[in-house]
Chain A
């Protein structure tokens, strides 16, 4: 088997191993693994409504997964996609009611743009702290997640609270700013297409443009990047801002297409789940789409599974975690890829082994 094919099959093998481990656990619990799997699949893909719901659940994961993948390529460990999504949603929810009377297209561009801009500022702030003050972005983005969550909570209990004051939620956004549900009552909308288009743009940007190349070089060898005069500070701020913008767009799309208003619980932790999505996708932007679909399907199918088999829905989180662990183990065994990127830079290879690798 060729090396590349083996690498491409590794995520599938990891998912298979995780599911097998799960099946054993289920059997030990006395449930039938096959029945559980069937109910899980039925809940995720069994009918048109279930399928479109899976798509709707996967959409924010695509946005956040892209955010994580882009930043990780530059060895910028953005753990803050959740906060960036929240501020994106917050901006969209704040602007949305004011867009009444605007042309539909303009309103959509405005509401998603506002979300992207807010996310870019949130992510860019962490990037700026990293570039100027050498603040570890893992810590700053986690802290910014907390701040974003509190900001949202304050907004829906305070300035943005709906007029009756009965619920901690904002007013509905203007009809003009809502992405249509084309097949009501399903939640199918244009957002998923938008997300796939963004994935393609990210793929091209990372692998076909100079800034994308520079970001990948920076992520893999910071010292060499300095030696060759790459604009490290600009790349750091830019990549974090772009990453935040992607997550922020995801938040805005969620408001525009699904909820139409802000709630305190707008994100069930998509930004964190997205880290797993990006890892399963091996940081490939196009790979984020199927990975997000998988995680969306697991999330969506878990309810049906719980109803039908009495197995707790939380079990799918165990599956998701197992996928990551098995995949990292596979990668470590294959000796490369992830491990090198995670450890930052290349280890000094002894010439004794390197000397013999060429033709």
Chain B
């Protein structure tokens, strides 16, 4: 049995964990749910030995685990964790990464081929795809990275497997296989701790569910005895507002606000974008569904003007002020973490034009403007607008990116995975922001792997598979059919 006894942990003035007692039994999948900042990630980091608790103990089968133990000791204790942000070396191949992680414990680091073979074996058993041989992690998509982490964790045959929000990046088909794999681990008597904010998922796979709120455990109960409404109430104290009104049909005669024609991009001989043509009209939210890594990131780069196309055209021309892009990797592509929040606003050309007239930055006005934005979008920053972007939590960084895009008053917003890792309230707020933007005549291209989100928010739906985009027929507006299209089935 895995057990924590009265664990507390403080970060500065914030009490992240307040005397947390938590138990997970062998042969169970235990879901840990809660909003951003509820303390889930802190708790699993302490269980996995990555963080030290201020007080309290972690026990495995009655024996106390020391905090901050080495990776090797954890492996001996057979605790494996997959974190929300994959911990991989960017400039190394994925095989080298697995080898460095003590992959399979027996494989010599030099025998990368053996590592690759073993990885393929585990991946096949779990139903995952691996990146092409010798691919650099830097070139892997987020989903590929998460899959690598899971393969690595499974290779240890762990007694305790901790998964911190792993499923938000998996495609529906992969998700099912993955959850089946979890079921097999349970059957083998292992302890699986699944951190998630998806209530339906927790209800579907978990045996028991523990709900956290503001650093405390508020309830632990069998999954069979509860439902989404109760869990949501426990998590946030109140149900989130009604979902945004479905968008009305845009004027079919209106000229498109964003038009792509035959957009093609070749990387290392592969057509990562293959003759993509699409239009988004004013007042419309178009959804682009797809398994992560099928060209979405490159498409966003192309629309932002960050890459040169091999052929095709984009109107309006990339780099202009009328299109705002919210990239998937908010830290890597969307923010300068060392700069202040108000400076990060200046990255967007329209805001630069407004807050730096004639090339000189009006820093006082920029700070004021930023403070207003923080207020309006309920972004929590300890030091206000002068805070470094890196000091914000993930959810707040995400909302800053959305706030910045909306504040620039663009005609088009291209948003990639904007609700990833956001809790229910924050996600609803972000979606409402987009819906209001569209209702006011803005055009939105919403790229996501989350089908529920797309079905809820979008009018037309497109599917991207291996760099090709096609329209999903209206008859296919259900998760199962879309899942098949995303996996590459013929329409």
Contacts and interface: CB of A to CB of B under 8 A. Distances in A.
Interface in A190-210: 207-210
Given A221-B335, A224-B335, A356 B85 contact: no
Interface string B375-405: 0000011100000001111111100000000
Interface in B344-360: 346-349, 352, 356, 359-360
13 contacts: A208-B363, A209-B361, A217-B336, A217-B347, A220-B338, A226-B304, A346-B338, A348-B86, A352-B50, A352-B164, A354-B394, A358-B37, A358-B391
Interface in B27-48: 36-37, 41-42, 44-45
Interface of B: 11-14, 16, 36-37, 41-42, 44-45, 50-51, 83-87, 164, 301, 304-306, 318-320, 325, 327, 331-339, 343, 346-349, 352, 356, 359-361, 363, 380-382, 390-397, 421
B360 A346 contact: no
A224 B333 contact: yes
Among all A-B residue pairs, the 3 with the closest Cβ atoms? A356-B11, A229-B319, A352-B41
A224 B333 CA distance: 4
A351 B392 CA distance: 10
Given A229-B319, A346-B332, A358-B396, 15 more contacts: A210-B352, A211-B359, A213-B356, A220-B339, A221-B335, A227-B334, A228-B347, A346-B336, A351-B84, A351-B393, A352-B84, A354-B392, A355-B42, A358-B380, A359-B380
A287 B37 CA distance: 39
A132 interface: no
Task: Summarize B's interface: helix, strand, loop or mixed.
Answer: loop
Given A208-B360, A208-B361, A210-B359, A355 B36 contact: yes
Contacts of B335: 221, 224, 346
Contact of A348 (B44, B332, B361): B332
Contacts of A353: 11, 45, 51
A53 B413 CA distance: 60
B390 A346 contact: yes
Contact of B318 (A223, A229, A351, A355): A229
Interface core residue of A228, A229, A354 (most chain B CB under 10 Å): A228
A282 interface: no
Given A221-B337, A224-B347, A348-B85, A355 B361 contact: no
Contacts of A348: 85-86, 331-332
B415 to A, nearest CB: 13
A interface residue count range (under 10 / 10 to 19 / 20 to 34 / 35 or more): 35 or more
B152 to A, nearest CB: 16
A345 B348 CA distance: 19
A357 interface: yes
B293 to A, nearest CB: 17
Given A348-B85, A349-B390, A350-B87, A340 B338 contact: yes
Contact of B361 (A213, A226, A336): A213
Interface in A217-258: 217, 220-221, 223-230
A334 B334 CA distance: 26
A352 B338 contact: no
B53 to A, nearest CB: 13
A227 B84 contact: no
A6 to B, nearest CB: 15
Contacts of B382: 357-359
Interface in A155-175: none
A216 interface: yes
Contacts of A358: 14, 37, 380-382, 391-393, 396
Contacts of A349: 85, 331, 337, 390
Given A213-B361, A355-B37, A223 B319 contact: no
Contact of A223 (B332, B343, B346): B332
A355 B304 contact: no
B339 A216 contact: yes
Given A213-B361, A354-B392, A345 B339 contact: no
Contacts of A354: 390, 392-394, 397
A341 B41 CA distance: 28
Nearest to A345: B332
B83 A224 contact: no
Contacts of A351: 41, 84-85, 393-394, 421
B348 A228 contact: yes
Q: Chain A contact residues: over half helix, strand or loop, or mixed?
A: helix
Contacts of B336: 217, 220-221, 224, 346
A218 to B, nearest CB: 9
Nearest to A337: B338
Contact of B334 (A224, A230, A359): A224
Contacts of A230: 347
A359 B387 CA distance: 11
A324 B451 CA distance: 54
B265 to A, nearest CB: 14
Given A208-B363, A213-B343, A346 B337 contact: yes
B325 A355 contact: no
B381 A359 contact: yes
Nearest to B391: A357
Contact of B306 (A217, A227, A355): A227
Given A209-B361, A356-B393, A358-B393, A350 B305 contact: no
Nearest to A348: B85
Contacts of B84: 350-352
Interface in A60-75: none
Interface string A31-49: 0000000000000000000
A144 B210 CA distance: 64
Nearest to A218: B336
A225 B393 CA distance: 22
B356 A227 contact: no
Nearest to A229: B319
B16 A226 contact: no
A356 to B, nearest CB: 4
Nearest to A340: B338
Contacts of A336: 338
Interface in A122-147: none
B361 A227 contact: no
B76 to A, nearest CB: 23
A214 to B, nearest CB: 9
Instruction: Indicate the member of A207, A208, A341, A348 with the most B CB atoms within 10 Å.
Output: A348
A227 to B, nearest CB: 5
Interface in A306-353: 336, 340-341, 345-346, 348-353
Contacts of B320: 229
Contacts of B87: 350
A7 B41 CA distance: 30
Contacts of B390: 346, 349, 354
B85 A350 contact: yes
B392 A227 contact: no
Interface string A277-290: 00000000000000
Nearest to B379: A358
A357 B41 CA distance: 13
Contacts of A356: 11-12, 14, 16, 37, 42, 393
A355 B393 contact: yes
